[in-house]
Structure 1
């Protein structure tokens, strides 16, 4: 997919530059607080700092009343020192993009695009998961890694589940009222907290029921 941007060029408005490159303190904060009082557009600039969170900061500032003034230039490759009058930067700034990113020798921008809706698939192993803690409507089936012919450790048993209950503890964990750390410590197990009560059948045909630490 190719996106083409067409925009009529207009004279560049005055810019107030706030340099956030390699800033280990919050010395830039009073500068930013001062320039938001002006009528000029504000350009947040980061250069030679691969771990900067400047784009997240810019997105947050664009939720403020002065949102239309906030612009961002993130220089992630070797390039001349930022100067809006330098032709290297002037040509890019003419495009009047909110996010200007120089990476891999090219100018670009960043966009947040919605993922396509997931297709439903049939799998042998699935589990329920609250994708948003505290939102019970986000409970969905997710694909698991197990298969009926998997070899498991001797101390474990592979059970074909016939029924799995959703009990009060499951509701408490899905709603966020019960911390996952109180149930299991492993991050992988914390993804499958619901459905700890089960009944089913072993590969031998024996019927079993039980309770597990996580779903």
Structure 2
């Protein structure tokens, strides 16, 4: 089943491509993009990267990627960015370690210098228009499909997902009403396999002596 750019509406392949083609060329898919390109675009729009360790630690809490970092290559690193809703550069007084300021947090897990996992978190509920825009940005000239129950039972996934790009390279999952997760399909499958293997190895030790 094709996943629509607009929630609740089924669109054809042609319509999906038309919607994407109407967007500026700078809105190509972000997964797989190099850090320099992401930061150049983000910083020119008023975005900043968190430098405070306490803020960064608090922002990471509960993020789905956190439990899988140990399985990723040694050259993996995470950067967390903040962007105001109006494109204004935030002042230092607005960056609290306890609560998120009005705008967006963007978590990017870089592997080999390229984006592999991204979490967009809004300071309030994400609007349908914002959701549609993010889906279009990550469509990469393709379109999204929603998985049915049969497909979900067959796929191997660490994060779990409800949407997959038609080329099969990128998966997506809404996280509540204020966040959405995009990630590389190949890495997702590998993380699931490594996690399962790790749990199988630890199981005999954990129950030894019973």
Normalised to the residue count of structure 1, the TM-score between the two structures is 0.21
Q: Which of the pair is proportionally richer in helix? A: 2
TM-score by length of structure 2 reads 0.21
Higher relative contact order (CA 8 A, sep 6+): 2
